[in-house]
Amino acid sequence: MAGICSVCSTYPLDLVRARLSIATASIPVSVASQTKPPPTNGPKLSLSSAYHTASSSVAASDLSIVGMTSKIMREEGGIRGLYRGLVATAFGVAPYVGINFAAYEFLRGVITPPGKTSVARKLTCGALAGSISQTLTYPFDVLRRKMQVTGMKSSGLGIKYTGAIDALQGIVRTEGVRGLYRGLWPNLLKVAPSIATSFFTYELVKDYLVSRY
């Protein structure tokens, strides 16, 4: 419940962040193509044009938090557009947070018994807990990202989903079950140290506050 409450209150920011990441991905290439003369080699010209498509329809005024928020509300149904993909995210966050804390508490009893509470052991507990929970719930994360960009005119994806179920069926149909785990390893490289640091900081601050107050 805590995970669902937190994601519902901050979801529009996550959506805007995803849109900005895509909208600004090819800006350097676009600028370069405008300032340099076109190459004489045909294949290079077509490749440059392909990279340029992602940001061609995004105005410079939209490349900010406020600008992108206004763009989404203007083009995708007002405030409702800021919550595109929320259901898939909520279904993923609930088990993710639950498994994360359950795994951490279990691993803490195994890896950090009394007298063996070194920093390395504590960080290992958090890293393993984050990796386990992320791996088990990663398909929901894939669905979340698909739903976040499906309404973006300049995404260049060429695919529009009507909902989370449609997105799930489309991914399995075109990419197979492996498509639901595309990008898992790079994500684990981010999640493991992130969750390890998060839990370690939480325990550190909690012990400090308990001892002080």
Q: Which whole-number Å values give the CA distances from 53 to 57, 89, 90, 200, in the listed order?
A: 8, 28, 32, 43
Query: Is the pLDDT at 54 greater than 80, yes or no?
Result: no
Say how many CA atoms lie within 13 Å of 173 toward its Cβ: 6
Query: pLDDT at position 30, please?
Result: 45
pLDDT at 40 exceeding the cut of 80:
no
pLDDT confidence of residue 58: 60
Cα distances from 104 to residues 131, 154, 197, 202, 204, in angstroms, run 11, 40, 13, 12, 15
Mean pLDDT of 165-181: 84
| Res 174: pLDDT | 86
* Residue 53: predicted pLDDT: 42
186, pLDDT greater than 80: yes
CA dihedral for 5, 10, 16, 17, sign (positive or negative): negative
Digit-coded pLDDT (tens) for 59-114? 776 788 888 888 888 888 888 888 887 887 888 888 999 999 999 999 998 998 88
Q: Determine the Cα–Cα distance for residues 84 and 81; give it in Å rounded to an integer.
A: 5
Q: Which residues contact 162 (CB under 8 A, 6 or more apart)?
A: none
Q: Hey, what domains does the chain have and what are their CATH numbers?
A: 85-212 (1.50.40.10)
What's the confidence (pLDDT) of residue 44? 45
CA-nearest of 10, 57, 38 to 154 is 57
What is residue 27's predicted lDDT score, i.e. its pLDDT? 55
Q: What is the C-alpha to C-alpha distance for residues 40 and 121, in angstroms, rounded to an integer?
A: 59
pLDDT band at 116 (very low <50, low <70, confident <90, very high): confident
